[in-house]
Structure 1
Amino acid sequence: MSLPLSVSLPAMLADGGDREFRQLIYRMIITQSRLVDIRKAIAARVGVSAPQYTMMMAILHLQNASGISIGDLAEHLEVTGPHVTGEVRKLAEMELVRKTVNPHDARGVLVRLSREGKRRLVRTFPFIQRVNDILFEGVTAEEFRALARFNRKFMATTAAALRFADQQGE
């Protein structure tokens, strides 16, 4: 008895079967889990949780002289404003970020890394760089650009697939 295919897109089928596709999905799930664990290991070196580390790195790279808004940070990280607000509150309590009133919108807040927050991140960069070098060792510039293009596309299609799956569950 032959099983139904788990995908019908011709580009995803090899010799009429979906075995290679299913293997790719399994490996992507394993990769995702490993990336989460790597992020946790880096965050531990900074002394924060994995989501807090992600926030701190985004703030470091996106803040300008006055900081970055919660909304802009949430948009960049593709998470909700309340999630960012909660993590920023915790980071502020640890004195790793500073919050100020947004001069362009008194209802809003701008966040910047504190000196201690920046110090913790910067001292971890040699480790971060080594981890990333290992992650992408042997990947060519062409492969990296193709992966980045694929990932941009895949971010959109995973969101659409999740919406579809959620709607089917209702």
Structure 2
Amino acid sequence: MQTKSKAESRTSRNLAIDPDIARRFAATVASVAVFLDDIRQFRAKAMGISGPQFALLMAVMDLEQGDGVSVRHVAKAVHVDPSFITTQSKLLEKKGLIRRQVDDHDARVVKLSLSDKAYKQIAGLAHDERDLNSFIYEQIGGDGLERLTSQLADLKARLEKATVKLASGL
């Protein structure tokens, strides 16, 4: 009769995740997403734009590295169709918040960057954002938030793989 080592036993226990815990986790994450979206809506309203437009601005700010970021990359980052980014970026351009430029190397590619006006408005929200973040994350702390973010990024990657498996019928 073979006996399992302690490490093997721990590994097999970890593979048997309680479905109720998994559902509660998914429901909690969904609730967190709703509240984060509500906060995004408040920030957007302060700038006179919609929540999705604010998400677009934040994605451009995060992804842009000096020469703009393509519509396709922004769309992928915010999980929407590129046509939505095209439409919304044109509206944001009219408000003076986004610059749209045709790529020098490929005329089919439009690159987006934030305008000085957008940077100023975002900077104007920074103080309130720091206060809000302190309130929200005070119990987690900076290191804990970094660990949680890393764990959630790992989970996101696993979820992406799981959706591919489901889509392929496995």
> Is TM > 0.5 for Structure 1 vs Structure 2?
yes
Per the TM alignment, residue 27 of structure 1 is displaced from its structure 2 partner at its CA by 1.7
User: Are 1:57 and 1:121, in contact at CA under 8 Å, matched by a contact in 2?
Assistant: no
User: Are 1:13 and 1:20, in contact at CA under 8 Å, matched by a contact in 2?
Assistant: no
User: Are 1:12 and 1:21, in contact at CA under 8 Å, matched by a contact in 2?
Assistant: no
Gaps of 5+ in 1: 1-8
Give the helix-richer structure, 1 or 2: 2
Residue in structure 2 matched with residue 155 of structure 1 by the alignment? 156
Residue in structure 1 matched with residue 58 of structure 2 by the alignment? 57
Per the TM alignment, residue 77 of structure 1 is displaced from its structure 2 partner at its CA by 3.5
- Structure 1 range deviating more: 98-107 or 158-167: 158-167
TM-score by length of 1: 0.76
User: For each residue in 1:38-66, what CA deviation from the matched residue of structure 2 results, as whole angstroms up to 9, or x when unmatched?
Assistant: 11111111111111111112223333443
Question: What do you get for the CA RMSD once the two structures are aligned?
Answer: 2.6
Residue in structure 1 matched with residue 112 of structure 2 by the alignment? 111
| Compared CA separation, residues 40 and 107, structure 1 to 2 (3 A) | same
Distance 1:131 1:13 in 2: 38
Write the letter of the residue equivalent to 2:51.
A
Find out whether 1:132 has 2:133 as its counterpart.
yes
Task: Say which of 11, 14, 20 aligns to 1:11.
Answer: 14
Find out whether 1:101 has 2:102 as its counterpart.
yes
Residue in structure 1 matched with residue 85 of structure 2 by the alignment? 84
Distance 2:161 2:62 in 1: 29
Gaps of 5+ in 2: 1-11
Distance 1:119 1:159 in 2: 35
Distance 2:31 2:141 in 1: 22
Name the SS for the 2:107 alignment partner.
strand
Name the SS for the 1:95 alignment partner.
coil
User: For each residue in 1:106-126, what CA deviation from the matched residue of structure 2 results, as whole angstroms up to 9, or x when unmatched?
Assistant: 221122222222222111111
User: Are 1:39 and 1:50, in contact at CA under 8 Å, matched by a contact in 2?
Assistant: yes
User: Are 1:13 and 1:21, in contact at CA under 8 Å, matched by a contact in 2?
Assistant: no
Distance 2:97 2:143 in 1: 38
**Larger relative CO (CA 8 A, sep 6+): 1 or 2?**
1
Distance 1:95 1:142 in 2: 37
Find out whether 1:28 has 2:45 as its counterpart.
no
Distance 2:15 2:140 in 1: 23
Number of aligned residue pairs: 158
Name the SS for the 1:138 alignment partner.
coil
Name the SS for the 2:100 alignment partner.
strand
Residue in structure 2 matched with residue 39 of structure 1 by the alignment? 40
